[in-house]
Amino acid sequence: MTFPHITMPRMPAAFQAVLLCLLLMAPSAHAGNEKTIALVMKALSNPFFSRMESGAKAFARQEGIPLEIFGVDRETDIDHQIDIMENLISRGYGAIVIAPADSRRLVPVCKKAVAGNIRVINVDNPLDAGEMAKSGVSIPFVGPDNFQGAGQIGNYIHQRLSGKGRAMIIEGIRGVQNAEDRKNGLIQALSKSPGVQIVSQESANWHMDEAMSLVMKTVRQPDSVDAILCANDQMALGALKALDMLDFKKKIWVTGYDNTEGLRYEMTQGRIHATVEQHPEVMGQTGVMLAWNALKGQKIPDKTITPVDLVTFESMNKKLHLSISSLSNPFFSSLVQGALSMSKIFGFQTVVFDAENNDARQLTDMVGSIRTGLDLLIINPTHSESIVSGIELANEKHIPVITVDRKASDADILCHVESDNVGGGRIAASAMIRYLKGNGRIIEMEGIPAASVSHERGMGFNAMIQRHPDIQIAAREVGNFDREDARQAMQRLLQKSIRFEAVFAHNDVMILGVLDALTDAGIDPSTRVLIGFDGIPEVLDQIKQGRLTATVGQKPEVMGSLAIQQAARFFRGDDISSSILVKLELIEKP
């Protein structure tokens, strides 16, 4: 499948007009577009929207969704964006995902699309609620809480100024909802104490050149301002150019909003100090997903809030080492991908070490990392006790340690990130009881005996099962979280003719090993209740095929991301929770 990348604003203006007219006049324009989704963005020259496009296209490619991309040249090209919408309506697209250039002026054309039975999803910049109410239309929104994101920036600067100083706010386009929300979030956070004075509040319309001119005109003396807070990164870069030209020796705090590549570079140099990561790729992905669901007749929530993260210069170029128990396990591969993606956002230099489930190798890697120098260590332990000496060495060198997924025994750590494994065991048991209808024999395939997750999942599972006397554990075998070990263990049980109706494995890799053994023995897996734990792609596929019953879905990429987020909080001096639990869910065939 191909995904046309239509970038009308990159064509000459005259050619665009002719092309638009031809498209409007084409008699076959409606043919074949009923299942196509159009993503209409603002300035395609802005790296923020490039990332939104990437997220949308990646999801569309994965799901086989026809997707076309449109956009304008500058974020003030409102009329051009309206023309694009009219074109899409005339061509009968199935759904439109739009990041509106104006919160009010795009409402009528969006209403027209909805009236034409086109599903419309609003992303990034909310359409004006009052204008939609007057027009009698309601359009689902996907995007961040801009007020809350700007509040994080404002609080950060308030702390750095110690509650006393002079601040300048450079707004986006006035009247546009996300610009207004960011402005108000900044004002509220800065105004927490009377010591911070907002000396200037002007609009640069999201543009770098206008922000540069504004700062040149407004900031006459270095003492006239202590901080310049900009509603997007482009304007922050413009403000920085102006300060370079003014050549003040005094430090002036400068912030943006979007976390674009150019701004991150300036943060590595300590010249810009904070921004907000809005995860535009998540907005693009979620917008396309909801549009596709709407085309399939599913109900869409009115509002879907996407995450925002405060990113500051303190985390830039910090050296992190992530020691993972086994990269051959898809669960841990996903965890690593989540950590590396978030590391890029925060500017960390993160190196990954694969212990290959070898306790000695993990300890050796840890000691080597500590001796070569690093700023923080993240560990996914192979063994809860064997790594303690390595953590103690890190403590001696004043290197903070974060553990993820599996705990370390009696070690001094900064934070532990994990799923609620005891609760996950209960979820698996509840599903097992339901499928067995309160009566049956279960084989429990355990993980590595010394791993904390093995103990916790088994404890949660068995505590629930013991409440049902007609359900028994027929056998327990150690599968070491390994597919081949689990396959061999299951083969031994089959050779002993152990009677069973169900198997619970402490991870998905082992339930796949159980499935292999049953298949080799000619046993139809659909005649057994087979439940795993993790939610890796191969198991999800087997559930869809009816060969596995269910799994307790973890979110390894979220766990990796959260570990990195806690590292970022540490470096900017925020308080950190000693333990963070990631929610779990049962995944089964509908």
**Structure confidence by residue, pLDDT tens digits, 266-287:** 999 999 999 999 999 999 999 9
Strand partners, 472: 441
Residue type, 425: G
Structure tokens at 188: 């509220």
Closest CA to 472 of 507, 511, 432: 432
Structure tokens at 11: 């064509």
Give the number of other CB atoms < 10 A from CB of residue 184.
15
Sign of torsion over alpha carbons 323, 326, 332, 336: positive
Percent above pLDDT 70 for the chain: 95
- The position carrying tokens 């239309």 is 137
Give the number of other CB atoms < 10 A from CB of residue 152.
18
> What is the separation, in whole angstroms, between the first and last Cα of the chain?
28
Q: What is the pLDDT of residues 289-325, one digit of tens each?
A: 999 999 999 999 999 999 999 999 999 999 999 999 9
Q: What is the CATH number of domain 315-416?
A: 3.40.50.2300
Average pLDDT score, the chain: 92
Asked if pLDDT for residue 76 goes beyond 80, the answer is yes
Q: Are 397 and 424 in contact (CB under 8 A)?
A: no
Q: Are 398 and 422 in contact (CB under 8 A)?
A: no
- The position carrying tokens 């994080």 is 152
Give the number of other CB atoms < 10 A from CB of residue 143.
25
Q: What angle do CA 342, 264, 177 make, to 5 degrees?
A: 85
Q: What is the CATH number of domain 421-553?
A: 3.40.50.2300
Residues 337-361 have a mean pLDDT of 96
CATH fourth-level superfamily of 8-143+281-304: Response regulator (3.40.50.2300)
Q: Are 313 and 348 in contact (CB under 8 A)?
A: no
- The position carrying tokens 């359409």 is 127
pLDDT at site 48: 85
* DSSP H or E run through 342: helix 330-346
> What pTM, to 2 d.p., does this model score?
0.79
516 vs 5: which has the higher pLDDT? 516
What residue spans in the chain does CATH classification 3.40.50.2300 cover? Answer: 8-143+281-304, 146-277, 315-416, 421-553
Q: What is the pLDDT of residues 3-28, one digit of tens each?
A: 343 444 444 544 444 444 444 444 34
Asked if pLDDT for residue 160 goes beyond 80, the answer is yes
Q: Are 36 and 249 in contact (CB under 8 A)?
A: no
Q: CATH number of the domain at 146-277, out of 3.40.50.150, 3.40.50.2300, 3.10.20.30, 3.30.420.40?
A: 3.40.50.2300
* DSSP H or E run through 350: strand 349-354
Strand partners, 502: 442, 529
Q: Are 35 and 1 in contact (CB under 8 A)?
A: no
State how beta strands 309-312 and 274-277 pair.
antiparallel
Q: What is the pLDDT of residues 103-158, one digit of tens each?
A: 999 999 999 999 999 999 999 989 999 999 999 999 999 999 999 999 999 999 99
Q: Are 415 and 350 in contact (CB under 8 A)?
A: no
**SS3 category, 24:** helix
